[in-house]
Copies of this chain bind each other. A is one copy, B any other.
Amino acid sequence: MRLTRAGEYGIRCVQHLARHGKGTLVSRKEIAVRTDVPPHFLAKIAQQLARAGIIEIQQGANGGYRLLRDPSEITLLAVIEAIIGEISLNDCVGRPESCHNSPLCTVHRVWNKANQQLRATLQEADFATLAKEDPCCLTPFPETAGHNGPIGKK
C-alpha cells in the first residue's frame, strides 16, 4: 500500500520542470541527474506524462521535456495517476461471492470513502503551491547563477 518508485519519480520530474516554468525545455539528462532518477527509467515515465498531456517531448539533438500546463494547473493526483493509473486502494474487500459486484457492502463503502478522500487530497495539491511553500527544494539553478552545471558539460 505504497506509492511505487515510478510514481515518485514522476513527481520529481514534474517538480523539476515546474521550477523552470511552463514551456521551458529541459533535457532528460539534466532532469535525471538533478532528481536522481535512472535516465532510461525517466524516459518511460516521461512518455506516460506526455500521453496524459502533462508534458511535451521534443526529440532530436538538444531535445528534452517541457511542461504543457502551468504548474498551478498540475496536481499531484494527475501526475501520479498518469503513471500508476487510477488510484484504487482495494479491489474488493469482503467475500467475493457475496460482495464482488455489490457496492452495498459496508466494508466496501469504507474503502470507497477512503479512496475518494485520498484522491481529493492529492488533487488539492498543485505544483505551483508546492514549490512556493517549499523551503527545502529551492536551490538556485546553474543557469541563473552562471553556467557550470551538467547542462553544457563540455
Interface size on A, residues (CB 8 A): 50
Q: Are A1 and B87 in contact (CB under 8 A)?
A: yes
Summarize A's interface: helix, strand, loop or mixed: helix
CA distance in complex: A151, B105 (Å) = 26
Identify which of residues 67-97 in chain A touch chain B, using a CB-to-CB cut-off of 8 Å. Answer: 76, 84, 87-91, 93-97
Is A43's beta carbon under 8 Å from chain B?
no
Q: Which of A3-11, A45-53, A58-66, A142-150 contacts B (4 or more CB under 8 A)?
A: A3-11
Q: Which residues of A are in contact with B by a Cβ distance under 8 Å?
A: 1-4, 7-8, 11-12, 15, 34-36, 76, 84, 87-91, 93-99, 102, 104-107, 110-111, 113-114, 117-118, 121-122, 124-125, 129-131, 133-137, 139
